Amino acid sequence: MQYLSIRKEEWDKAVEQLLLSYTIFAAINNEFGIDYEIISPINIGKISYNTPKPATPLKSLFLPVKENVTSDPSLKKQRIIIGSPNCDIQGLKILDEIYLDKDFNDTFYREKRENTILISFDCFGKQEHCHCSAYNIRPWATEGADLSVILIDNLIVLRIITPKGTDFISQFSLVQALNDENIISAIDKGHTATESLLHESNKGLPDYQATGRIVREADKEIWKKYSASCVSCGACTTICPTCTCFLLIDKPGFEKVKQLDACQYPGFERVAGGEDLLYELPIRFRNRYMCKYVWKPQKFNSLACTGCGRCIEACIGKINKNELFMELAT
Amino acid sequence: MTDVKNIYKPLKAKLTEVIDESPLIKTFVLVPEEKFSFGTGQFIELSVDGIGEAPFTPSSSPHISDKLEVTVMRTGYVTEIMHNLKPGAFMGIRGPFGRGYPVERFFGKEVIILGGGCGLAPIRSLLYALEHIKDKLEKVILCYGSKTPADCVYKPLFTRLNKIEKFEAYRTVDRPDEGWDGSVGVVTTLLNKIRINLENSVAVVCGPPIMMKFGTIRLLEMGYKDEQIYLSMEKNMSCGLGKCGHCMMGEFFVCKDGPVFTYNEIKDTPDIWK
């Protein structure tokens, strides 16, 4: 693997310079934890490197909760996003399949996708519910992002992934090839240690390939059991990096506002006559699992769950999908 | 960025006429601001400005692009407001969406159409399309059922169809009134009255879910193969683009993969008749 490096102070100065021509979002360490924020000269020093993970998924920067989709999709400035873990980077793939569909491409999504430099970070360490490795995703990106970044010993180390990443980094005059074997070795050890942590804490989880069969064959009692504390708040779908369902809301002047929706909300599939296939809570609850592990894999090539664990963290009913899968797998 | 059509933006259309079809059903005649083409069986999202939109399959001929007819049953929030619209109002059209009827696959065949209630709206468009290619078809038979004679839409259509060479049209009602002297019973009873060369036939079913279910069961009993039966499915189609998720039916997005499916394609999908 080829690495480049630049001293952290120089990197921060370069990022500040980039603010003149780009809108920059980055994972920021704030009093509530880590989340994406717009970068200004004041918070460049608070950018979080290599600690999983931003509270909101990367999708929120491509599919806002609300967006007027009859307006002009053009962005005022190109964008840079710094600090997306690989679970989120992999989550973008199914969004690309859905929103860049050759028959119906979404100009709003495409405009953001084409005008964004995506800088991932390698995860060193894990959060309690991280389980990307169960779905064959490594905690660092080797594709999907333009670059990946690592902060080590006051040095920013960059791994270029795409030609777009190469072009981008050519703006940094102080970037050099990294030849320090000790640092490279420390990065490798960090990768290995993180993977070991993930494997160790997710030993009982079924492999992604098996999840479709497990969900399809699950007895209805399991859906009743795990949905018992579900309050249909939709937090799991809203926070999911791959859930993209939305509602079109009409505004005067034949304008349309696209608003994030959730199959967990009552009435999601209700038709005008009143029929509602997802009326009962256990059926509605099961729908999300069927969508992610059975139907989406039949329809798309990309993963519909990337093991980020946010749905577990966000659930106010304390529903843990990993516990559900471990129960189903035994 | 390159100039690409915004898939969410409606085309404005002027409402020029409102036709009362039955106590609950009206047909809206619309003139779009630009020519609007669709394939028979495809659907559109029709919107009331600032209120909402709902999916409908146009009931007019797919060979007319400067005028569009949409037949709407008053059954929910948006359709209630639509029914109060007067000629001169502007509506919004998005689409056309999805897979319509593959009429080229009907060449050389007998086409048996089973319709119920408001399901005659897409069927009327299909009948116009089939009339256009009648030289390439063996026969077209329409069997249509409504709850009462008053609920039957497009009443003059039946007289007209029976005058067209190769076309036959039959009606039945569940509950006759005093003036009714036609068939009484569910629509599948009409299938006993017609002559079909089953081997060289396709069947099209469109109507309320319960009618589609029992219509399909009857056709299968008669010996139709799964792939000979075409169903026009209805779900909560919203975006029309296979993105918003509201019309997911198992692995399918009804809006994009349908709304017309062969029974063979969806027979293993749960809850198709709900």
- Which of the residues B246, B249, B252, B271 would you substitute to probe the A interface, choosing the one with the greatest number of A C-beta atoms within 10 Å? B246
Same domain? A163 vs A79: yes
Residue B43 is classified by DSSP as E
Over residues A106-134, the pLDDT tens digits come to 999 999 999 999 999 999 999 999 999 99
Same domain? A125 vs A70: yes
In sequence order, which residues have a C-beta less than 8 Å from that of residue B24 and are 6 or more positions away? B73, B74, B75, B151
What whole-number distance in Å separates Cα of residue B194 and Cα of residue B112? 9
Helix and strand numbers, DSSP H then E, in chain A? 12, 11
Same domain? A189 vs A222: no
Q: What is the pLDDT of residue B4?
A: 63
User: Closest residue of A to B3, CA-based?
Assistant: A107
Same domain? A132 vs A257: no
Asked if B157 and B121 count as a contact pair (C-beta separation under 8 A), the reply is no
What whole-number distance in Å separates Cα of residue B266 and Cα of residue B262? 7
Question: If pLDDT is split at 50, 70 and 90, which confidence band does B2 have?
Answer: very low
Q: Which of B48, B78, B271 sits opposite A277 (nearest CB)?
A: B271
Same domain? A35 vs A153: yes
Same domain? A144 vs A186: yes
CB contact under 8 A, A98 and B242: yes
Q: Of the candidates A201, A235, A267, which is a domain's last residue?
A: A201
Q: Which of B48, B75, B245 sits opposite A245 (nearest CB)?
A: B245
User: Closest residue of B to A67, CA-based?
Assistant: B8
Over residues B82-139, the pLDDT tens digits come to 999 999 999 999 999 999 999 999 999 999 999 998 899 999 999 999 999 999 999 9
Parent domain of A70 = 4-201
Q: Of the candidates A167, A183, A201, which is a domain's last residue?
A: A201
Same domain? A47 vs A192: yes
Domains defined along chain B, listed by start: 11-97 (2.40.30.10), 103-232 (3.40.50.80)
CB contact under 8 A, B8 and A246: no
Number of domains composing chain A:
2
Same domain? A324 vs A175: no
Same domain? A51 vs A31: yes
For Cα atoms A97, A103, A106, give the angle at the middle one, nearest 5 degrees.
Answer: 65
Q: Of the candidates A183, A201, A219, which is a domain's last residue?
A: A201
Same domain? A191 vs A49: yes
Contact residues, chain A, for B248 at CB < 8 Å: 263, 269, 291, 295
CB contact under 8 A, A272 and B54: yes
Does the pLDDT value for residue A171 go beyond 80? Answer: yes
Over residues A274-318, the pLDDT tens digits come to 888 899 999 999 999 999 999 999 999 988 999 999 999 999 999
Asked if A53 and A34 count as a contact pair (C-beta separation under 8 A), the reply is yes
User: Closest residue of B to A106, CA-based?
Assistant: B7
Distance from CA of B77 to the nearest CA of A (A): 8
Residue A145 burial by CB count (10 A; 0-12/13-18/19+): exposed, middle or buried? buried
Same domain? A103 vs A38: yes
Same domain? A38 vs A186: yes
Contact residues, chain A, for B43 at CB < 8 Å: none
- Over its C-alpha atoms, chain A yields an Rg (Å, rounded) of 21
Nearest one of A296, A311, A290, A309 to A239, comparing CA atoms: A311
Question: If pLDDT is split at 50, 70 and 90, which confidence band does B152 have?
Answer: confident
CB contact under 8 A, A295 and B78: no
